[in-house]
Structure 1
Amino acid sequence: MPYTVKGVVARAQGQPVETVDVVVPDPGPGEAVVDVLACGVCHTDLHYREGGISDDYPFLLGHEAAGTVAAVGEGVTHVAVGDRVVLNWRAVCGECRACRRGEPQYCFATHNAAQPMTLVDGTPLSPALGIGAFAEKTLVHALQCTKVDDDVDPAVAGLLGCGVMAGIGAAVNTAPVRRGQTVAVIGCGGVGCAAIAGAVLAGARRVVAVDIDERKLRWARELGATHVVDSSGLDEDGVVAAVQELTDGVGADVVIDAVGRPETWRQAFYARDLAGTVVLVGVPTPEMQLQVPLLDVFGRGGALKSSWYGDCLPERDIPALLELHSHGRLPLDAFVSERIGLDDVEAAFATMGRGEVLRSVVVLGAGADR
């Protein structure tokens, strides 16, 4: 029998979100219904509301989530009712050309639930990143559920469903940062600070944080940055010079752009050492264009990479990072700035826009409010 639950919906571009009744169907073959315990408020959700992802309104927002499996459909053996899970939006298929060539992190046919969730009048909802977890329950493909220990804090674990994993993975998987290297991270919001934590975890000897906001630079230091650059009064050349000065005068081995704008990418490109690596993990908007002299691309060598969800494999990386957290080696709890309710999502977008939080986390149900 379908479930009727409360969920946060964006009905039209730029309009405030609404908390409304959402109908979640019983799980079909290969699907699972999850009781959502916590879900982070991510910039991607705001991009959906603003029409920056697609125009398939209305959207059921939310995707950085952890919860408990409430029901499973036919043929599901991956998880069972009662399992604590983190939801992921890149559930690999195992059969596409990327998977067949041994690169499942680039899977081109990731799994999502086949059935739609709807408004009570039957209008289909487009779930953010195939998840839609600003809701008391959500329907996903069972392979979007990564099983974790029951005692994990859902508000912490859920952040590995997107932003925090994207940042850590950009450093650990995409770059990958090697022990003893120098790293610069441009943009120190949630993803950038996670990239800093990832660089520290990988053994970087020097980590330079770049941002225009003193508060974000303070967070970066707390998460392991050895040096900071306040770029609020610097042009592109000034940022490049500041990073070079802090990295033996030659530039960083790895520069991670966690903003995703042409100007920050150019800063990353020129702030790296010769044959260094640039990693783009910040998400650009469709109208952005990049201009760099092709001779500079040739002459500087190295690698120019984009990072999709930190090039992670959820079944491998989510449990591993939570294990490191449990042993005090990865301060994931530092990313939870505040815990809020479903009705507070619109206000959380404004808080995020002002740069006041690393993550606001919507909490629902017992066990998510600690």
Structure 2
Amino acid sequence: MKYYFLTGEPSGDLHASNCIKEIMRLDNNADFAFTGGDLMEELTGKKAAIHIKQMAFMGFIRVLQNIFTIKQNFKIVKKDILNYKPDLLVLVDYPGFNLRMAKWAHENNIKVDFYVSPTVWAWKEGRVEIIKKYVNKLFVILPFEEAFYKEKHDHQVYFVGHPLIDAIEQKKPTLKTKVDFIKENGLNEKPIIAILPGSRAQEIEYMLGIMMEVTKNFSDHQFVVGGSTNLPASFYDSLKKYNIKVVFNQTYELMSYAEAGIIKSGTSTLESALFKLPEVVCYKSGALSIKIAKMLVDVKYISLPNLIMDKPVVKELIQNDLSVKGISDELKKLLHDIPYREKMINDYIELEKQLGGPGASKRLAVELVKDATTNN
């Protein structure tokens, strides 16, 4: 069968590639086309119709600034899908783009499944109606989402578990040892504090400077930045004056061997939790984007650990609260307040149980293969 995967962000590249791997085991005749990243390209041996480097735009203002590129991306993807004639179109996260694609695909008699629900429980709840009308099946990865759709909108969705559990377990046996990680990256023997500032240029521009100033307060630790391959290495040149090391494609090693983390809100907050890394969560964006978001968003927390557990598992420092003092104070607690640290790790253990255990990618793949081979 022919599967077209459409994603536009690094996390989508990860989740889609793991699902594709499972489909390959179930469907010997599977063929794939996609928009995506390096992981999907390496797995399939094919080039993405559009690479995620040309698709990831964050915030209202940046979307407006890149509106021409986004419109061109729509044209390219629509043409590619029509030429490919997939048995199933699988939309992975990336809701601003993918919900429009769902409508278009439905109008062109292309079966659509959606993986990773838009955050309709936080804002723009009206998007549920788009999903109900144009999507064949929605597969969700957060435990509370199934109940949200059923109880509030009388709509059946399918909780398959969170794919990060699989991704991490598959990766663990291949991780470098701590000795090799330190040696190969020119690190010293001081305890490590991880800094994960995000994968988009604008995220790093807003937050990395503040994060760097924190390093001056912890001379007995070494700070290591997890760099994004979606950005040129030269983007991190400003860190040289702080004598900070940047590592690429070694995020899981960094999470494994760090004592604490300064983490940008997003998928990395959940990854850190699954690695049992005590963390402080940070987020800062343009003033106008934040003002608009506050008008539209109805949610108590922004980090995945807190959202899933529905309580403040980790400290969130957002916008004006994101300061050198705020991060430093929380880091001191994470490093030195043993009961505080242990409580966070215990919450992480409970969180992992709620995520459904291993096998999410396989459970999803089974359903996608069924849908691709069923005419309805």
Please give the range of the TM-score, normalised by the shorter of the 2 chains: 0.3 to 0.5
More helix per residue: 1 or 2? Answer: 2
More strand per residue: 1 or 2? Answer: 1
TM-score for the superposition, normalised by structure 1:
0.33
TM-score for the superposition, normalised by structure 2:
0.33
